Every structure is written in C-alpha cells, then in structure tokens.
Amino acid sequence: MIAKLAAAGGTAVEVIRNGSRGMLWLEPFVEVQTPAGRVGYGPVAPGDVASLIDAGLLEGRDHALGHGLVEEIGWLDRQHRVSFARVGLADPLDLDEYRKMGGLAGLRRALDTPVEEVVGDILDSGLRGRGGAGFPAGIKWRTVLEADAEQKYVCCNADEGDSGTFADRMLMEGDPFT
C-alpha cells in the first residue's frame, strides 16, 4: 500500500519485508531510510498510510505515529543485539543480502576446518543453546562427533519452553539463514 500511494504521487519506493524488531506494541512498524538514518513509525494500520505519505513519511518527517531515528528509540537503544542483529534491517528471504552482511562466512570457514577443531572452537567459545537451561552447544556437538554411528542427524526443534514467547519463531522469520 505504501509503494502504491507513493507511486500515485510520482515517487518510486522499494518496500522490503522484514521480521519483527521485538517492539510488539509498535507493530506493524514501518522504517524509512533517510540521509539522517532510519526513521520509524508505528503502529501503522492500513488507514494510516495516506496520512503518513502526505506528512512526508518518505523524507522521515514528523507524524503522530513517528518515533524518530530508530537507533535512538529507548527500547532499542539499550540493547546489544547478537541473535537479532540483522532482524528488521534486511529482507529475511534474500540470501544474497544475507551474504553481503557476512552471512555464511562462519559456515564456509567451518567447512574448510577439521571437524575436531570446529567442535573445539565451539567448546572454547562457551556458546550455549537458546533453551531455558542454556546447555553448552560444544558438549552437544562433541557428543555427536564421538557417537559411534554411521549416520548422524542435526535437529532443530525451535520449540519455546515458555508458551507465547515466540523468540525462536521471531528469529526464524526475521533472519532464517542464521
């Protein structure tokens, strides 16, 4: 709808679908890239789009739904995102864009490294699972490596222990190649 109304006004825009930034109270959240940075608006309903366009959404101008520069929004400003670093910044379905942001570099490196060294690196890193227990990932990997089996499997259950949290779902929808 944003692209359609902008085009009707003679402006071509690129709308990129992305995942949630985790600010559910502001969603749907619209971000506009401006020379000053990304400006956020939300929650935006379909009926709000025309007034946003008229107010100068595409230039990042003020509006009742405006929140200013996204990186200065208090809730986001206080975070150091690791798992969700790319969520909301890139099209989650664009593998080329993911690669441009450094995606798959670790996998490429791991494929050129002896398996025992990769598992050792994971153990040494202290990486933990996303479950409530935060079980060390390196121990899981080492157990599978040392298992006496011809065929081995890696499973991703992506099931939250806390119903209704949807953190794993948000990560898989917002940055699925991670």
Look at the block and give the residue holding tokens 């990304």: 38
More confident residue, 27 or 17: 27
Pairwise CA distance, residues 85 & 87, whole Å: 6
- The mean pLDDT value of the chain amounts to 88
Please check whether residues 14 and 71 belong to one and the same domain.
Answer: yes
Both structure tokens of 110: 């791991």
Q: Are residues 107 and 73 in the same domain?
A: no
In a domain, 107, yes or no: yes
Confidence of residue 3 (pLDDT cuts 50, 70, 90): confident
Last residue of a domain, one of 77, 93, 128: 77
Burial of 143 (0-12, 13-18, 19+ CB in 10 A): exposed
User: Between these two residues, 137 and 169, which has the higher pLDDT value?
Assistant: 137
Mean pLDDT for the stretch of residues 1-25: 83
Q: CA-CA distance, 45 to 34, in Å (whole number)?
A: 22
Burial (CB count within 10 angstroms: exposed 0-12, middle 13-18, buried 19+), residue 175: buried
| 85 lies in some domain | no
Contact 70, 26 (CB under 8 A): no
pLDDT cut 90: percent of the chain above it: 52
pLDDT of residue 131 exceeding 80? no
Give domain status of residue 86, yes or no. no
Is the pLDDT at 117 greater than 90? The verdict is yes
Q: Is 43 part of any domain?
A: yes
Choice between 12 and 150, residue whose per-residue pLDDT is larger: 150
Q: What is residue 36's predicted lDDT score, i.e. its pLDDT?
A: 93
Q: Which of 61, 77, 93 is the last residue of a domain?
A: 77
The total of structural domains in the chain comes to 2
Task: Using the predicted structure, report yes or no on whether residue 77 has a pLDDT greater than 70.
Answer: yes
Question: Shortest CA distance to 45 belongs to which of 77, 80, 13, 1?
Answer: 1
Is residue 54 in a domain?
yes
In this prediction the pTM is 0.67
Asked if residue 144 is part of any domain, the answer here is yes
Q: Does residue 84 fall inside a structural domain? A: no
Map residue 134 onto helix, strand or coil. coil
* 69 shares its domain with 114: no
Residue range(s) defining the domain that contains residue 71: 2-77
For residue 160, the model assigns a pLDDT of 66
- Whether 45 has a pLDDT exceeding 90, the answer reads yes
The mean-pLDDT minimum among 54-58, 135-139, 162-166 falls in 162-166
Domain membership of residue 96 (yes or no) is: no
Q: What is the pLDDT of residue 5?
A: 81
